[in-house]
Amino acid sequence: MVTIKDVAKKAGVSISTASYALNNSGPVSAETKERVIKAAEELKYRPNGNARDLKSSKTNTIGLIVSDLAGPFFSELIRGVQEATLASGYDLMALSAIGGFDSTAAKFLKEKRTDAMIIFAHNLDDNLIKSAARQDMPIALLDRRLSSKYIINIEVDNFNGAYKAVEYLISLGYKRIAYISGSDDSYDNIKRFEGYKAALEAYGIGYAPKLCYKGNFIEAGGYQAAKLMLLQNDLPQGIFAANDEMAIGAMEAFDEAGLKVGKDIAIIGFDDIRLAQYVDPPLTTIKQPVYEMGCLAVRLLMQALQGDFPNEEEIILPAELIIRKSCGES
């Protein structure tokens, strides 16, 4: 590995002069500078970013942690974060939380390797996050709530989103409305479930535990849940799935059973992933403003880095009903 020392020696100058020349950071004569640069090129010198960061105790990068880099849902979020980060002149590194406590994400969280973090993952321990957050490492926590001076909570209005979804189903005349749930312990699943129950209640429809199915937020889970309904021979009129993936899984199952979604049974999802508009019939769903969330997170983090944290305990973004065809025409 060729270091700045080698460059300096080759150029016949001192290390500091070499550094100045290479970074335009100090007074160097044009001639010397050129000599240094030439030496660096000939030696194929590459600065060592780690050393620089160590010295300046600043990385100029913000990290984005998602539960699974490969998930389709994160595309929009990443887009938002990416644009905002780029605009602020920071670098972005995306990390996966797969593996939980042993994941790369956990490691980078513990060892300060970024100036700030955005976390959109549920498989990361509360304590881990809490203890990682500090003055010089603010964290924007999406769709999850944790109280700490250095954590900025940003969430979408899961409760009202779910409420709207169920209300819409009810407005269409459906009364027996099932719920396909996400991971039990996840914050958003809990909120969505509450919204589901509240809407039912508000319209004088009792909540029935047997209409609740487990789907774990994945397509296969939704498929299984629908299969179960089919098996029980006691189909609900409408289904509210806690995310689009599960809704799509359920649609497949009904499709296989020869049922017409939108006619024989109504399904509404949550998230509005890209696929939602392409499935047949197009999926009615609740749109999360993920892109905006990403941008907002970056902006708030930038401010936090200046020592300026928001006052609110959490920031809640509205969710919007997107009507397509899977619940029938309205």
Strand pairing class (212-214; 116-120): unpaired
CA distance 268 to 251: 10
Query: What residue 92 binds from a second copy, DNA, none (CB within 5 to 8 A, per partner kind)?
Result: a second copy
Does 32 engage in binding with DNA (CB under 7 A)? Answer: yes
Query: Edge-to-edge, what's the strand order for the sheet holding 266-268?
Result: 212-214, 177-181, 238-241, 266-268
Cβ neighbours of 274 (radius 10 Å): 12
Q: Give the residue with the Cβ less far from a second copy, 44 or 210.
A: 44
In the structure encoding, which two tokens stand for residue 280, read together?
A: 């047949």
Site for a second copy in 73-112 (CB under 8 A): 75-76, 78-79, 82, 86, 91-96, 98-99, 104, 107-108, 110-112
Q: Which residues contact 56 (CB under 8 A, 6 or more apart)?
A: none
Query: What residue 22 binds from a second copy, DNA, none (CB within 5 to 8 A, per partner kind)?
Result: DNA
Does 3 engage in binding with DNA (CB under 7 A)? Answer: yes
Task: Spell 286-310 as b/e; 16+ CB within 10 A means b.
Answer: bbbbbbbbbbbbbebbbebbeeebe
Stretch that binds DNA, among 40-48, 90-98, 164-172, 202-210 (CB under 7 A): 40-48
Does 135 engage in binding with DNA (CB under 7 A)? Answer: no
Instruction: Give the H or E element holding residue 267.
Output: strand 266-268
Please state the closest distance from residue 70 (CB atom) to a second copy, in A: 4
Binding footprint of DNA on the chain (CB under 7 A): 1, 3-5, 12-17, 19-20, 22-23, 25-33, 45-48, 51-52, 54-57
Footprint of a second copy (CB under 8 A)? 1, 44, 46-54, 57, 59, 61, 68-72, 75-76, 78-79, 82, 86, 91-96, 98-99, 104, 107-108, 110-113, 131-132, 134, 136, 274-275, 278-280
